């Protein structure tokens, strides 16, 4: 008695499409927050843009990991290319640390010398919400 089954890989295409659209939306609004943060002198917008950069990078790396992970295992790469996902997570972690250090430095400077922040930053923040 044979065992017969199929492997439907259509969900991989759906996942890649969802990742791509998520990346586009998050990256696009990140640009809006960076511009708005500089124009309104808002550390809140800039720090959220940094967080969104981390999210966009994670999504971009995930897309790349999907693409690279599709390659088959070879003699020299017996596990295939799936280890790229680990590298992507590591780079994302390093990015978060760097962004956090920048936000800490900027916040410290603003405690010493508080800047004027435009109230219009709330419009951008509400759109982001």
Residue 72 Cα to chain centre, angstroms: 27
Worst-scoring range by mean pLDDT, 11-20, 64-73, 77-86, 101-110? Answer: 77-86
Q: What is the spatial distance between Cα 85 and Cα 93, in angstroms, rounded to a whole number?
A: 12
Average pLDDT of the chain?
Answer: 81
Taking only the tens place, the pLDDT of each residue in 78-96 is: 566 667 777 877 888 888 8
Give the domain ranges of the chain.
Answer: 19-112+119-128
Residue 93: the pLDDT is 85
Taking only the tens place, the pLDDT of each residue in 39-73 is: 998 988 988 898 888 889 888 888 887 777 676 66
**What's the mean pLDDT in 17-28?**
91
């Amino acid at each position: 008695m044979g065992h017969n089954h199929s492997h439907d890989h259509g969900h991989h295409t759906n996942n890649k499409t969802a990742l791509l659209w998520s990346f586009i939306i998050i990256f696009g609004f990140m640009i809006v927050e960076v511009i708005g943060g500089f124009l309104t002198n808002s550390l809140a917008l800039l720090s959220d843009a940094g967080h969104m950069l981390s999210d966009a990078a994670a999504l971009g790396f995930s897309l790349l990991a999907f693409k690279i992970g599709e390659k088959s295992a070879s003699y020299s790469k017996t596990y295939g290319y799936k280890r790229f996902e680990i590298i992507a997570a590591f780079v994302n972690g390093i990015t978060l640390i760097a962004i956090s250090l920048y936000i800490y430095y900027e916040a410290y400077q603003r405690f010493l010398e508080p800047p004027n922040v435009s109230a219009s930053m709330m419009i951008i923040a509400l759109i982001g919400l």
